[in-house]
Amino acid sequence: MAIVWFKTSAVKERRTEMAYKPAEKRYEQMKYNRCGQSGLLLPAVSLGLWHNFGDADDFETARAMMHRAFDTGITHFDLANNYGPPPGSAERNFGKILKQDFGAYRDEMIISTKAGYLMWPGPYGEWGSRKYLLASLEKSLKRMGLDYVDIFYSHRFDPNTPLEETMSALDTAVRQGKAIYAGISNYKPGRTAEAVKILRSLGTPCLIHQARYSMLDRWVEDGLLDLLAKEAIGCVVFSPLAQGLLTDKYLRGIPADSRAAKPHGFLKREQVTKEIVEKVRVLNEIAAERGQSLAQMALAWVLRDRRITSVVIGASRVEQIEQNVAALARPQFSNDELGHIDRILREGRRTL
């Protein structure tokens, strides 16, 4: 009995010791950008929970990262139904952290989730039907312990469901009060234009498009960004560090604790090619000349385009969040620097 009492009080003591109180100056260093022409401001750097928040990961590290993120002014936390592993566990862990530490701060947070990828067996567990999207949102809310999310996304275009149906599910989610805004992700420019038109006709404008963009993957420059600017829609960028490739971590091989080394990481060893590492080595020199880490330069490079509202970073430790937010201290590029970077990306080496 005495032992039980001792254990219980030790746990309580640890909890009290670790009660989270956000930094008072949390809004002083972050930059907030308007999302398209909406009323919503998003932090220039947001935190995504795709990796490192699942049951396969360390809960206390995940919790510490959320604390530090919020302390640095990151108000936007990006999730999806399938983040883990296992799928759903990132939302569940995020919900636990919210309940433990962020109860008083919900109105200071923008929480997004998505549906589109496989979540449960059978014909209603993925893609873009109303049946799947609305059931998935319900489950996401339960896992996170929330009444609503701020942004609900269609995670991918479904070629076999009428786009009107997918968009009507987003509209319904907003009308039900289960989402405040609607967004789309990974839609190509043509489908984006159609989706935007449908959503507008339903009276629920498309707030945002979430797309992959980095120095190593520039597809959005080919029409999507122009379209979003024309339609006054925000663009939130994912994998701005190409899952960690655009940092100095792979310059001397694949570290054991890196995403590429983890069996459940989406970055595979084969993607860390000699050609990419050589490019990254030269980019790393340019970053050093700018007085930045490569991660910081890569984020500043994405944010140099005013059509980008926010970069959603991933992180495996607190220090990465700190370093990445500090990228905002050195945002400018000279035309020479941009020209050098373009040439390196094209030719894989420094020509000047």
Binding residues (CB under 6 A) for ligand NAP: these are 48-52, 78, 155, 185-186, 210, 238-244, 247, 249, 258-259, 295, 312-316, 320, 323-324
Q: Taking the CA atoms of the chain, what radius of gyration do you get in angstroms?
A: 21
CB of residue 342 to ligand NAP, shortest distance in Å: 20
CB of residue 98 to ligand NAP, shortest distance in Å: 16
Structure tokens at 243: 């899952």
Q: With beta carbons less than 8 A apart as the criterion, state whether 302 and 235 touch.
A: no
Q: With beta carbons less than 8 A apart as the criterion, state whether 321 and 250 touch.
A: no
CB of residue 158 to ligand NAP, shortest distance in Å: 14
Please, which residue, 36 or 48, has the CB nearer to ligand NAP? 48
Report which DSSP code applies to 214.
Answer: B
CB of residue 313 to ligand NAP, shortest distance in Å: 4
d(CA 24, CA 26): 6
Please, which residue, 166 or 185, has the CB nearer to ligand NAP? 185
CB of residue 117 to ligand NAP, shortest distance in Å: 8
Please, which residue, 57 or 171, has the CB nearer to ligand NAP? 57
Helix%, strand%, coil% for the chain, nearest 5:
45, 15, 40
Please, which residue, 141 or 325, has the CB nearer to ligand NAP? 325
d(CA 228, CA 207): 10
Please, which residue, 6 or 59, has the CB nearer to ligand NAP? 59
CB of residue 76 to ligand NAP, shortest distance in Å: 10
Please, which residue, 201 or 329, has the CB nearer to ligand NAP? 329
Cα 48 to Cα 26, 94, 153, 158, 331, distances in angstroms: 19, 11, 14, 23, 21
Q: With beta carbons less than 8 A apart as the criterion, state whether 47 and 315 touch.
A: yes
CB of residue 333 to ligand NAP, shortest distance in Å: 19
d(CA 278, CA 41): 37
Please, which residue, 166 or 210, has the CB nearer to ligand NAP? 210
Give the other-Cβ count within 10 Å of 212's Cβ. 17
